[in-house]
């Protein structure tokens, strides 16, 4: 180790430089301020010329921990970001045209030790497992808000935002399943967080980084900007998106591509103004299967974000745009298309010496389960937990890299399952999803899921944001794999399970009757017609 390397590596970190002002950059800057306050100096440099990716508007329910950590209440940030609620993802046409099901933010009820989905397979009480086993599927079909007009929430077995938290929680210690996430305008969120961070002392530099200067040991000494000279620091955070400006300079190892298992590598996106009073607002993200991928529909207040995620091996950009425009209809005629190349996979290491990649520069999988912002949140939380306050340590860096890699590898498995388990096989794209290589670990798990739905013991073993109920919901909804109930259920008295299924039906009916529509909730809140 050289003298300079020694100096940089062992100096306590007090000066952080973030490069990039997209969702990743501003989420990181805000969170570091919220965590460490004045103990840390944070500078964020963002280009006036390089645009942000311009998409990324649906989230996970755990994103609430991020806002809570910052001390931000829904009533403050949601209106500023045109945000709506998201109770589930609605999968359309993945089994066959006209079919849909939901992957909700709702854990399964358990009867006599067996999840209700096991009982459902055994008893087959109806056509729709999602409506029979979860409350949220019916709320989505009926386009209901998760909150009443007096702001009360439909399920109360978790701590409400209004309570004064005694301490702040992060992703991995979440003990209850909060029933909704958000859709928001990503550009407005970045602007909102800019205000939050700058008000609390983050220095914002609007400029292009034109050089990354390393010492002879490969540690970043400073970045050079076009107009503001050099910015030096102890720790540099690469939030430059798919460009990975800093990481490409410090890391020699190859990018770990997921393309062999997840071939979708392009997207075309539109922002479509819609008349919400006429159309209503679905309280969910929709993923509609297409000939060479799928289309997302994300309803915000006043517009919809939509885009076709596809594989360039099966579809060209013109066809993708035409397909998307035909799907959207006349509302989208004036909308400008944003064509995006996606790099699917992750950095072998997201933290190398004094450089940490957060956001698209660290890794990305197609947005089928809205995991981009979740990856950012996880990366930031882990950075705080592993923060090199006394200087850098190889063991701490390795621990961070392991955790971040596990999260992305786990999500890769889950998404691979979506394609493999989908019944749809009507063209080469969908037929090939059944023969493509898959992670070895997933192949082994699939065998066991044929005889017993996924449980905590046999899903991807490291934290990756998805619990076994999500796997069960996808397998039951996608419909392409044979599933059997546990043999033990044949020997049980099913009276308790029948009662539970009835109680779900009763409660669902009550909620659909009592909750306002998702549109009516926001119209009431914002004084809309
Ligand atoms: P970017 O938004 O690309 O920001 C990069 C920043 O770096 C910009 O500010 C740019 O100006 C700056 N920069 C670049 N070069 C320089 C330079 N030389 N000097 C200074 N600054 C520079 N995630 C979800 O959670 N939900 C979704 O529904 C979702 N949908 C997605 C759909 C698609 C098609 C794609 C591609 C991604 C989606 N994501 C989604 C992921 C999400 O968009 C990203 O995780 C999120 O926007 C973070 O992006 P970023 O900040 O890492 O990069």
Residue 415 Cα distances to 56, 207, 297, angstroms: 17, 37, 18
Burial string for 436-463 (b: 16+ CB within 10 Å, else e) reads: eebbeebeebbeebeebbbbeebbbeee
Atom in ligand 1 nearest the alpha carbon of residue 298: 28
- Percent of the chain past pLDDT 70, that is, above it, reads 96
The pLDDT value given to residue 55 = 93
User: Distance between CA atoms of 27 and 56, rounded to whole angstroms?
Assistant: 13
The pLDDT value given to residue 273 = 95
- 156 has a pLDDT exceeding 90: no
The pLDDT value given to residue 1 = 42
ipTM above 0.95, yes or no: yes
Going by alpha carbons, the residue nearest to atom 29 of ligand 1 is 56
User: Shortest CA distance to 146 belongs to which of 24, 284, 260?
Assistant: 284
- 165 has a pLDDT exceeding 80: no
User: Distance between CA atoms of 113 and 473, rounded to whole angstroms?
Assistant: 18
User: Distance between CA atoms of 91 and 41, rounded to whole angstroms?
Assistant: 44
Express each pLDDT in 304-361 by its tens digit: 999 999 999 999 999 999 999 999 999 999 999 999 999 999 999 999 999 999 999 9
Residue 490 Cα distances to 118, 119, 187, 494, angstroms: 11, 10, 54, 9
Express each pLDDT in 291-300 by its tens digit: 999 999 999 9
The pLDDT value given to residue 251 = 87
- 4 has a pLDDT exceeding 50: no
Specify whether the backbone of 370 is left (phi greater than 0), alpha (psi in -120 to 50) or beta.
left
- Among 18, 22, 84, 248, which residue has the most ligand 1 atoms within 8 Å of its CB, making it the best to mutate? 22
Q: What is the mean pLDDT of the chain?
A: 94
Q: DSSP letter for 147, please.
A: B
Q: DSSP letter for 256, please.
A: E
Q: Is 78 in the pocket of ligand 1 (CB under 6 A)?
A: no
- Arithmetic mean of pLDDT, 392-411: 97
The pLDDT value given to residue 425 = 96
pTM: 0.96
Going by alpha carbons, the residue nearest to atom 40 of ligand 1 is 56
- Cβ atoms of 195 and 7 within 8 Å: the answer is no
- Percent of the chain past pLDDT 90, that is, above it, reads 88
- 158 has a pLDDT exceeding 60: no
- Arithmetic mean of pLDDT, 32-58: 96
Cα(516) to ligand 1 centroid in Å equals: 35
- Arithmetic mean of pLDDT, 65-94: 96
């Amino acid at each position: 180790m050289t003298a300079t390397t020694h100096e940089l590596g062992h100096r306590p970190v007090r000066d952080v430089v973030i490069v990039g002002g997209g969702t990743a950059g501003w989420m990181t800057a805000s969170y570091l301020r919220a965590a460490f306050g004045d103990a840390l100096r944070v500078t964020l440099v963002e280009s006036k010329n390089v645009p942000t990716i311009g998409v990324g508007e649906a989230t996970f329910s755990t994103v609430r921990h991020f806002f809570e950590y910052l001390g931000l209440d829904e009533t403050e940030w949601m209106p500023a970001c045109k945000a709506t609620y998201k109770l589930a993802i609605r999968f359309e046409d993945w089994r066959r045209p006209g079919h849909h099901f939901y992957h909700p933010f709702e854990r399964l009820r358990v009867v006599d030790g067996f999840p209700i989905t096991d009982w459902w397979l055994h008893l087959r009480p109806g056509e729709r497992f999602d409506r029979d086993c979860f409350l949220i599927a019916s709320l989505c079909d009926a386009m209901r808000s998760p909150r009443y007009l007096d702001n009360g929430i439909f399920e109360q077995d978790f701590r409400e935002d209004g309570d004064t938290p005694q301490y702040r929680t992060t992703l991995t210690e979440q003990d209850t399943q909060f029933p909704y996430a958000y859709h928001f305008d990503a550009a407005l969120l970045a602007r909102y967080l800019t205000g939050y961070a700058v008000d609390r002392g983050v220095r914002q530099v609007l400029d292009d980084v034109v050089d990354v200067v390393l010492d002879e040991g490969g540690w970043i000494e400073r970045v050079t900007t076009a107009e503001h000279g050099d910015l030096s620091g102890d720790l540099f955070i690469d939030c430059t998106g798919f460009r990975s400006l800093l990481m490409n300079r410090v890391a020699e190892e190859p990018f770990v591509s997921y393309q062999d298992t997840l071939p979708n590598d392009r997207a075309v996106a539109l922002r479509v103004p819609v008349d919400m009073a006429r159309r209503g607002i679905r309280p969910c993200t929709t993923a509609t299967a297409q000939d060479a991928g799928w289309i997302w529909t994300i309803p915000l207040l006043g517009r919809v974000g939509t885009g076709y995620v596809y594989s360039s091996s099966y579809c060209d950009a013109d066809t993708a745009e035409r397909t998307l425009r035909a799907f959207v209809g006349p509302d989208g005629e004036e909308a400008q298309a944003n064509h995006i190349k996606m790099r699917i996979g992750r950095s072998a290491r997201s933290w190398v010496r004094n450089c940490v990649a957060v956001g698209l520069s660290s890794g990305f999988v197609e947005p089928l389960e809205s995991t981009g912002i979740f990856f950012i949140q996880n990366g930031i939380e882990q950075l705080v937990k592993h923060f090199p306050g006394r200087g850098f340590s190889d063991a701490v860096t390795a621990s961070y890299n392991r955790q971040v890699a596990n999260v992305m590898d786990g999500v890769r498995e889950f998404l691979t399952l979506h394609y493999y388990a989908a019944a749809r096989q009507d063209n080469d794209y969908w037929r090939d999803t059944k023969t493509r290589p898959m992670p070895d670990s997933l192949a082994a798990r699939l065998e066991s899921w044929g005889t017993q739905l996924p449980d905590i013991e046999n899903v991807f073993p490291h934290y990756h944001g998805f619990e076994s109920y999500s796997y069960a919901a996808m397998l039951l909804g996608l419909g392409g794999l044979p599933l059997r109930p546990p043999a033990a259920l044949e020997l049980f008295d099913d009276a308790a399970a029948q009662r539970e299924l009835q109680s779900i039906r009763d409660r669902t009916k009550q909620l659909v009757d009592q909750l306002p529509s998702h549109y009516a909730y926001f119209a009431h809140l914002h004084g809309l017609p």
